[in-house]
Amino acid sequence: MPRSSLPRNILLRRSTRSLPIQTPRPIASRSITTTTSSSSPSSSNPRQDAPSTSTSSFSTINASEISHFSSLSSQWWDETGEFKLLHRMNPTRIEYIRQKVALGPSEGEEWTFENRHSDFTRESKRGTGLWLSGKRCLDVGCGGGLLSESLARLGGQVVGVDASESNIGIATTHAQQDPSLSTKMQNGELKFVHSSAEVLRDAGEKFDVVCAMEVLEHVDQPGEFMKCLGQMVKPGGHLILSTISRTPLSQLLTLTLAEDVLRLVTPGTHTYWKFVKPLELRRFVYSDMGGYDTWHRNEDASDIRTEEVGETRGIVYDPLAGKWKLWGGVEGSTWKEVGEGCNYMYHARKRV
């Protein structure tokens, strides 16, 4: 069983000071009707010093979506405002990443009779402390930097990228208010870049962990976006997403209740037909992103699935506790499918 996650104050720090807002500048998006990207990853060696901010000939950015989130950028660090549900979701997302990156099958020391006595000691240290040390992490659609800051505090070398210039301004300003994060920024261990995933992909950037949290449902051509993310994962690296399934339940909870009735989220934030079902996502990675030749089969009961890549797991909000929780359930059971009926996580690991 996974060990308990780190204290929340390590994952997320509050700031009570107001943040200056940069005026958002519209970013043009290009409508692509073909299913194949017009550009491919650079064949040059990946740059490790700083992400490229050059332009790309292809983009999955939706200009209206960027304009919408730019108008809300000043609220990113208000834990009682527009993004309060994301603030509450962040520790649970970090715990899921920890389970997959730090507690997943180890490719380290081979088991032998001579070293078996050290198994418990070695295993007890996994997923504790700075468990992202030495790993280069990408946070696509980083917004105000909620996830990026947490990954940096856990030892990761983090690049947060967002197509909204005002979001990047907020993320940069907030991180600079924390002395430890400010030092990481000065040392190049935490960067916020106003750009797109396609630009980084075209520059040949590679990462140990690629995250896109609550982004897939906001882009044009989600298939091309997924391919772009997959191309930036290093061999042995991890692709981790959170998104929303396209079900009557998600329509009720996300659109009707959260937006129209309770106004927890600004109406128009989500579009139902953009939601992607877990099965659709797993099958796409298998059919269009290299399948088992590129990605590992799962190490749990979900390995019974064929022609699908990756694990999906529901993430459910408990209004009584005020927390998000990872959903359980036996693989293939109705109970597991119910848990993935709205918000869910996705993970796949690339072969070495």
Binding-site residues for Mg(2+)? 214, 217-218
Beta carbons within 10 angstroms of residue 253's beta carbon: 18
**Numbered residues of the known binding site:** 93, 141, 162, 213-214, 217-218
Give 45's DSSP letter: P
Strand 157-162 to 136-140 pairing: parallel
Residue entry with tokens 């993310």: 229
What is the distance between the alpha carbons of residues 275 and 270, in angstroms, rounded to a whole number?
9
Strand 207-213 to 323-326 pairing: unpaired
List Cα–Cα distances, 331 to 205, 305, 349, in angstroms.
35, 9, 19
Residues 6+ apart with CB under 8 A from 164: 24, 27, 66, 69, 70, 73, 143, 194
Residue 107 near residue 330 (C-beta atoms within 8 A):
no
Residue 151 near residue 240 (C-beta atoms within 8 A):
no
Q: Which of 199, 252, 251, 242 is nearest to 96 (CA)?
A: 242
Q: At what angle do helices 278-288 and 222-231 cross, to 10 degrees?
A: 60
Give 35's DSSP letter: S
**Numbered residues of the known binding site for S-adenosyl-L-methionine:** 93, 141, 162, 213
What is the distance between the alpha carbons of residues 254 and 180, in angstroms, rounded to a whole number?
36
Residues 6+ apart with CB under 8 A from 218: 62, 65, 69, 141, 274
What is the distance between the alpha carbons of residues 348 and 291, in angstroms, rounded to a whole number?
11
H or E element: which one contains 185? helix 179-186
